[in-house]
A and B are shown apart, each in its own frame.
Chain A
Amino acid sequence: MNRRHILHLIGAAAAAWFAVPSPASAQQPIKIGEVNSYTGLPAFTIPYRQGWQLAVEEVNARGGLLGGRKLEVVSRDDAGKPDDAVRIAGELVANEKVDLLSGTYFSNVGLAVADFAAREKIPFVASEPLSDAVTWQKGNRWTWRLRPSTYMQAAMLVEEAAKLPARRWATVAPNYEYGQSAVKWFKELLKAKRPDVEFVAEQWPAQGKLEAGPTVQALAASNPDAIFNVTFGADLAKFVREGDNRGLFAKRSVVSLLSGEPEYLEPMKDEAPKGWIVTGYPWDQVKTPENTAFVEAYRKRFNEPPRMGSVVGYATFTAIAAAIGKAGSTDGEKLLAALAGLKIDSPFGPVLFRAIDHQSTMGAFVGRTDVKDGKPTMVDWRYADGAAYLPPDDVVRTLRPAE
C-alpha cells in the first residue's frame, strides 16, 4: 500500500461515484441548478430558499410547464467561495444536466458563475448579487439579474437625500466593492443634483469587523449634517447601538442602504433607528393583491413572515418558470430570447427583464424607519420602480462590453 495505490483506489472510487447519468427524456422534470451561500449568509439565504421553494411548489401545483413537466431544483451550498461555486456549477451542468443556473448572493460568486455560464453557454439568472459589474462592465449574453443593482439603490436614496437641507455629508461603508461602489454612486449622483453638498469624512470598516466606538467617534468629529450608511448585518447593529449611545444620530439625518430589509431591521428590535431614510421591504403594510397573496401563501407554508430574501427567491423562480413557458422549450438560445423583455408579476408588482442590459426593473421600497409597539417598521414609504433609476439607454450601451 503506497501513495499511488491509495491514489488509484480513490481515483477509481471517484470515477464510480460520478458516473455519467443518462440523458433527459421528454416527460422528465425540467431541472434548474441553484447555487447560494447557505452556510455563508444564512440570515438572507434561508428565507431566500423558502421563497423559491414556494414558487416551485406553486408552479408544479398548477401542473408544471411545457405540457406537464415538473420543475425540479437541484440546490447546492457554495460556502461563500467563488471557486467552490464554479465547481458546483460544473457539477450541475455535467452531472445533473440542468437547463439553467440561478442563485448566488455575493457579487464575486455571482460574477464567477456568470463567467462560467457564458463559457458553457447556459442561461444564468442571478438573483441577489448587487454589483453593477454583473450586468454592466462584466455583463454577458447568458447572464440576467433580478435585484436592483448598487447603482439603482443608490439612485433611489439620492432622490430623497437631495431633498434634505443637509450640506455636509459623511459616509460609512464596508471596505469592499459593494460598499465602495455604493459610496461612489451616492457621491456622484448627489453632487449632480446638489452641487452645494460636500463630503467631509469617510469610514471604511472591514466587513464584519466594524470597531463601533472609534468609528462613531470619528464620524461625529467631522460634524456632518447627514450620514450615508452602507453597513449591514452585525456591523449595522453595532453601529446603531454605539451611535445611539454617543448621540451621533441626534439632529442628523441618516440615509442608509438596505437597512429597511426585515433581515437587517428586525433583529434590532426596539433599538432600531428612527427616521432613517432607507431602502427595504415593509412586508406587512404593502397591501397590493400580489404582495398580500404572496405573504399569505408564505406564512401558511412556513409559519413565519417573509423577508426580503423570500421575495428575491420567489421572484427569481417565478421569472424562470415564466421564461421557460414563454420559450416553450428548455433550449438555451430560446430561453435567452424569452428572457429578453420578459414581464412577470412579482410581489413588488410588474417586473421587466430589460433586453438592453439584462437587468430587471424590480425596485425597492424607500421610506423611513420607525419603531411602533417596540417593533421596528417602515413608515412614509413608497415603491420605487427600478425602471426609473437606470441611466439612459445610450449610457447603458457604453457600460456593457460589445457582444
Chain B
Amino acid sequence: MDFYLVQFLSGLAQAATLFLVASGLSIIFGVTRIVNFAHGSFYMLGAYLAWTFVERWGSDVLGFWGGVLLAALLVGALGAVMEVLLLRRLYRSPELFQLLATFGVVLLVQDAAFGVWGPEDLLGRRAPLLKGTVDILGRPFPLYDLVLIALGPAVLGLLWLLFNRTRWGTLVRAATQDREMTAALGVDQARLFTGVLFLGSALAGLGGALQVPREAVNLHMDMAMVVEAFVVVVVGGMGSLPGAFLASLLIGQLQAFGILVFPQITLVLVFLFMAVVLVLRPYGLLGRKEEAPPPAAAAGPPFAPTGRRAGLAALAALAALAAVPLLAGEYALIVLTEVAILALAAASLHLLVGFGGLVSFGHAAYFGLGAYGAALLVKHVAAPMPLALLGAPVLAGAAALIAGWFCVRRSGLYFAMLTLAFAQIAWSITFQWYGVTGGDNGILGVWPPAWAASRAVYYEVTLALVAAALWALRRAAFAPFGYTLRAGRDSPLRAEAVGIDVRRHQWLGFALAGTAAGLAGGLYAFAKGSVFPTLLAVPQSVDALVMVLMGGIQTVAGPVVGAAAFHLLRTTLMASEHWRVILGLVIVALVLLFPQGIAGFARRLWNRGAEA
C-alpha cells in the first residue's frame, strides 16, 4: 500500500510539469489557432535560463525562486517577441503556415542553445531548503516533488481566476470561442495575441525552469516535451484547462504505474492511451463540441486544372530530368533520386492537406511502412525488386485503410493527433519487433539488383514510377473523387446535405495517400540499401509537412516544389556545422517573403503576368 501511494505521488509530480507546459500550449492554440512547435523549445530555454540564474544566485531561497521566475518571464517575453516579429505577419496566410514558421524557430533555438550553453548536460543546483526527503508511510519522498504537486493545482487556480475574474481573461475566452466576433466587437487582436503568446510561453518556461533541481538540462528537452504536451492538450480536450489538468494527471499516473506492469512498453504507452481516448471521445476528455477547432486548412480558392500547354511543359521537363544522367555526376543523381521520392511523399500528403483539408502529423508511418514492406519482402522471401516495390504500397495502403477508418471520424487537430498516435504505434512495432523488423538496428542489404544497380538506372526507374504516381494522384485530384474530397474540406455540412458521404471519401483519400507514400517508401528503401525505424518517426512526418507548406498548399505543384527546395537546401546546408540555424533562418525568411508558399508565389507572379 505504502509503495503504491509513493508511486502515485511520483506520478503527480510528473503531472505538474506536464500540466504547466500543456496549459500554455492549450491557451496559445485556443486563441491563435497556431500549432506551436516552438513550445518545447521555450520549455528548454526556460530550463537553460533558470540553470544560469540559479547557478549565480540560487544559493538562498529568494535567489532560487527569483531565478526560476525570471527565467519564466524572459521566456514569456521571447514568446511575445516571436509573435510580434514573426507570427503577426502571417495571420492572413493559411493558418497552418504558422506551423512552418514555428518549425523554423525550433531549429534556431536548438542551435542557439548549443552555441550559448555548450554540448554537455548541465546539472543544476537543488532548491534550497527542499533538498531532503520526507517519510511517507516509511518511504522517502523528495520534498521538492511535494512542492511541484502543490504547484499544479495552484497554477490551475490562478489561471481560472485570470480567465474568469479579469477583463483580459474574459477577452481571451471570447477569442477562444469566436475569434472573428471578438475582433468585430473592437478587441485589438494583435495585442491580445501578444499577451497570449507571453502567457503561454512563460508557462512553458516555468515548466522548464522547475526541472533544474530534478534533472540535467540538455539539448534534447525540446522534442521530448513538445509532443507529450500536444498529447495532453488533445487528450484533455482543446481549449479546456481542467481537461489539460485531468489529462496530465492521468498520463502522469499512467507512466508511474505503467512501468510496473509493462516495463517494456514505455515507448508507446502514452500514444496508445491517446489513441484509445480519441477513438472513444471525439473531443478529448473534457473538450466541448462548440470549442472544437475548425479544419486546420482553411478553404482556399479552388485548384485550377492546368491547361494543355502546362501538360506539354510538364512532359518536356520530365524529359529534361530524364536526360540529367548524361550530364551530372553520381552524387547529383543520388540527391535527385531522393528529391523525386520525397516529392511523391509530399504530394501524397498534399492530397490530404490541400485537397482533403486533413492535416496529418503521422504521414511518415506510411512512407516508413512502405520501406519496411519492400525490405521485409527482400529479406524474408528474397523477393525481386519489382515485387518488393509492389508490396510496399500494398502494406502501407492496408495500414492506411485501417488507421484511416478511425482517423477520419475526427477533425482538425484531433485528427492530426490521432494520425500521430497511429504513426507512433507503427514506429514502436518496427522498433521492438526484433524477430521480424530487426528493431532499431533495422534491415540491411536492400540494394537494387544488378540491372538497376547503377545510380543512373535506378534514378530513371524512380523518375518513371514517381512521374506515373504523380500523374495518377493528379488524376484523382481532378476526378469527381477529388472534387468531392474538396467539397468535404470546404463545407462538410453542405456536402452531407447534397448526399455526399464525406467520411467515406476522406477514408479512401487517406488510403490513397498512404498507398502513394508507401510506393515512395519502397523506392527510398532501395535507394538507401537499408531501412530503420527513424523513417516512421516524428521528425520524418514533420519534414513531410514542412515540404508541403514550403511549396504552398494551394497549388498542385506546391508539394513537388517544396520537396525539392527543402531537400536541396537541407542536403547542401548540412555540409556546414551550423546548418540548423541557416535552415531555420531560410524557413523564417521564406515564410515572411512567400506567405503562400513558393509555388503559390510563383503562381501569383504568373497570373499577374497573364493579366498585364
Residue of B nearest to A49 (CB): B577
Assembled-state Cα–Cα distance A21/B329 (Å): 9
Taken together as a complex, chains A and B put the C-alpha atoms of A18 and B337 apart, in Å, by: 14
Q: Which residue of A lies closest to B258 (CB)?
A: A214
A9 to chain B, nearest CB (A): 9
Once bound together, how far apart are the Cα atoms of A4 and B467, in whole Å?
A: 11
Give residues 171-218 of A contacting B (CB, 8 Å). Answer: 175-177, 180, 202-206, 208-209, 211-215, 217-218
Cα distance, A239 to B499, chains bound together (Å)? 59
A19 at the interface (CB under 8 A from B): yes
Q: Which residues of A contact B577 (CB under 8 A)?
A: 38, 77
B328 touches A (CB below 8 Å): yes
Q: How far is the CB of A400 from chain B (nearest CB, A)?
A: 14
- A86 and B530 in contact, given A237-B215, A267-B216 (Cβ under 8 angstroms): yes
Known: A83-B532, A175-B267. A11 touches B565 (CB 8 A): no
Question: What is the CB-to-nearest-CB distance from B547 to chain A, in angstroms, rounded to a whole number?
Answer: 13
Interface bits A231-253 vs B (CB < 8 Å: 1, else 0): 00110011001100111000000
* A112-B532 in contact (CB<8A): yes
Q: Are B216 and A91 in contact (CB under 8 A)?
A: no
Does A20 sit within 8 A of B, measured CB to CB?
yes
Cβ-defined contact, A176 with B431, below 8 A: yes
A: contact size bracket? 35 or more
Q: List B residues 109-143 near A (Cβ within 8 Å).
A: 110, 114, 119-123, 126, 133, 139-142
Give the interface size class of chain B: 35 or more
Given contacts A84-B574, A267-B122, contact A15 B114 (CB under 8 A): no
B331 touches A94 (CB 8 A): yes
CB of A24, distance to nearest CB on chain B (Å): 15
Q: Which residues of A contact B320 (CB under 8 A)?
A: 8, 11
Q: What's the Cα separation between A71 and B556 when bound, in Å? A: 49
Contact B606 A2 (CB under 8 A): yes
Q: Which of A39-47, A348-356, A361-369, A389-397 contacts B (4 or more CB under 8 A)?
A: A39-47
A241-B123 contact given A1-B605, A19-B329, A108-B440, CB 8 Å threshold: yes
Chain B residues within an 8 Å CB radius of A7? 317, 321, 560-561, 564
Tell me, in angstroms, the Cα distance from A247 to B141 when the chains sit together. 10
In whole angstroms, how far apart are the Cα atoms of A133 and B122 in the complex? 33
A111 / chain B contacts, CB cutoff of 8 Å: 441-442, 444, 530
Q: Which residue of B lies closest to A221 (CB)?
A: B3
Contacts of B7 in A (CB 8 A): 214, 217-218
Q: Select A246's contact among B126, B133, B214, beta carbons within 8 Å.
A: B133
| CB neighbours of A43 from chain B (8 A) | 119-121
B256 within 8 A of A: yes
- State which residues 404-448 of B face A: CB under 8 Å: 431-432, 439-442, 444-445, 447
B216 neighbours in A (Cβ, 8 Å): 233-234, 237-238, 267-268
Of listed A6, A43, A95, A177, residue having the most chain B CB within 10 A: A6
Q: Is the CB of A95 within 8 A of B329?
A: yes
Contact status B123-A115, CB under 8 Å: no
Contact with A along B533-570 (1 / 0, CB 8 A): 01100010000000000000001110011001100100
Q: Which residues of A contact B310 (CB under 8 A)?
A: 2, 4
Q: How far is the CA of A18 from the CA of B529 in the complex (A)?
A: 22
Contact A213-B442, Cβ < 8 Å, known A95-B329, A206-B267, A271-B123: no
Distance A217 CA – B580 CA, assembled complex (angstroms): 39
Residue of A nearest to B445 (CB): A115
Write the nearest CB–CB distance from B27 to chain A, whole angstroms. 25
Question: Once bound together, how far apart are the Cα atoms of A215 and B306, in whole Å?
Answer: 59
Stretch touching chain A among B10-18, B88-96, B166-174, B487-495: B10-18
- Residue from B215, B263, B324 in contact with A11 in the complex, judged by beta carbons closer than 8 Å: B324
B568 touches A1 (CB 8 A): no
Please indicate the chain A residues that have their CB under 8 angstroms from the CB of B141 in the complex.
246
- Cβ of A299 under 8 Å from chain B: no
Task: Indicate if B497 sits at the interface (CB-CB under 8 A).
Answer: no
Q: Given the known A-B contacts A4-B316, A6-B561, A112-B532, are A214 and B332 also in contact in the complex, defined by CB atoms under 8 Å? A: no
How far, in whole Å, are A132 and B431 apart by their CA atoms in the complex? 18
A62-82 interface code vs B (CB 8 A; 1 in, 0 out) = 000000000000001101011
B220 contacts A138, C-beta separation under 8 Å: no
CA distance A300 to B239 in the complex (A): 57
Q: How far is the CB of B316 from chain A (nearest CB, A)?
A: 7
Residues 1-59 of A contacting B (Cβ, < 8 Å): 1-8, 10-11, 14-15, 17-21, 38-39, 42-43, 45-46
Q: Which residue of B lies closest to A134 (CB)?
A: B441
Q: In the complex, what distance in Å separates the CA atom of A209 from the CA atom of B226?
A: 12
Known: A11-B324, A115-B529, A214-B7. A233 touches B121 (CB 8 A): yes
Distance between Cα atoms of A45 and B218 in the complex (Å): 15
- Kindly identify which residue among A39, A202, A205, A241 contacts B215, using a CB–CB cutoff of 8 Å: A241
Residue ID in chain A nearest B572 by CB atoms? A17
A87 contacts B by Cβ under 8 Å: yes
Residues on B with C-beta less than 8 A from A175 are 264, 266-267, 432
A241 touches B267 (CB 8 A): no
Query: Is A287 on the interface with B (CB-CB < 8 A)?
Result: no
When C-beta atoms are compared, the residue in chain B nearest to A234 turns out to be: B218
Distance in Å: Cβ of A126 to nearest Cβ of chain B = 13
Q: A214-B259, A217-B3 are in contact. Are A237 and B123 (CB under 8 A)?
A: yes
Contact of B10 among A180, A202, A206, A217 (CB under 8 A): A217
A341 CB–B CB distance under 8 Å: no
Distance of A96 from chain B, by nearest CB (Å): 9
1/0 contact string of A93-117 vs chain B (CB within 8 Å): 1110000000000011001101110
A237 and B121 contact, CB distance less than 8 A: yes
Known: A108-B534, A175-B267. A116 touches B561 (CB 8 A): no
B560 CB to nearest chain A CB (Å): 5
- Chain A nearest CB from B113 CB (Å) reads 11
**Is A229's beta carbon under 8 Å from chain B?**
no
Is B6's beta carbon under 8 Å from chain A?
yes
Task: Assess A86 versus B329: contact at CB under 8 Å? Given A6-B557, A81-B534.
Answer: no
A87 touches B444 (CB 8 A): no
Q: In the complex, A45→B431 CA distance in Å? A: 25
Q: Name the distance in Å between B103's Cβ and chain A's nearest Cβ.
A: 15
- A203: chain B residues within 8 A (beta carbon): 259, 263
Residues of chain B within 8 A of A45, CB atoms compared: 119
- Shortest C-beta distance, A281 to chain B (Å), equals 15
Specify which of A177, A213, A263 lies most central, judged by the most chain B CB atoms within 10 Å of its CB: A213
B572 and A11 contacting across the interface, CB-CB below 8 Å = no
Q: Do A3 and B447 touch across chains, with their CB atoms under 8 A apart?
A: no
Contact A77 B574 (CB under 8 A): yes
A residues less than 8 Å from B575 (CB atoms)? 76
CB-CB under 8 A from B59, the residues of chain A are none
- CA of A38 to CA of B114 in the docked complex: distance in angstroms? 11
B218 / chain A contacts, CB cutoff of 8 Å: 233-234
Query: Is the beta-carbon distance between B574 and A79 smaller than 8 angstroms?
Result: yes
CB pair B263–A14 under 8 Å, yes or no, is: no
The reply to whether A242 and B529 contact each other, CB–CB distance below 8 Å, is: no
Report if B183 contacts A (CB, 8 A): no
Q: Within the assembled complex, what's the spacing in Å between the Cα atoms of A268 and B335?
A: 43
Q: How far is the CA of A210 from the CA of B467 in the complex (A)?
A: 45
Please give me the residue from chain A that is nearest to B317 by CB atom.
Answer: A4
Residues of chain A within 8 A (CB-CB) of B145 are 213
Chain B CB within 8 A of A325 CB: no
**Cβ of B314 under 8 Å from chain A:** yes
Task: From the candidates B120, B224, B263, name the one contacting A209 in the complex (CB within 8 A).
Answer: B224
Task: Name 16 A/B residue pairs within 8 A (Cβ), A-sorted.
Answer: A1-B602, A2-B314, A10-B565, A14-B336, A15-B332, A18-B329, A82-B532, A83-B528, A84-B574, A108-B534, A211-B255, A213-B256, A221-B3, A234-B215, A245-B140, A266-B120
Other than the known A6-B602, A14-B568, A242-B214, what 17 A-B pairs have Cβ atoms closer than 8 Å?
Answer: A2-B306, A2-B310, A2-B314, A3-B561, A6-B557, A6-B564, A6-B599, A8-B320, A11-B320, A11-B336, A15-B328, A18-B329, A108-B534, A211-B255, A217-B3, A217-B10, A267-B120
Give 9 nearest A-B pairs by CB, closest first.
A3-B557, A4-B317, A42-B119, A213-B10, A94-B330, A237-B216, A20-B329, A18-B332, A214-B256
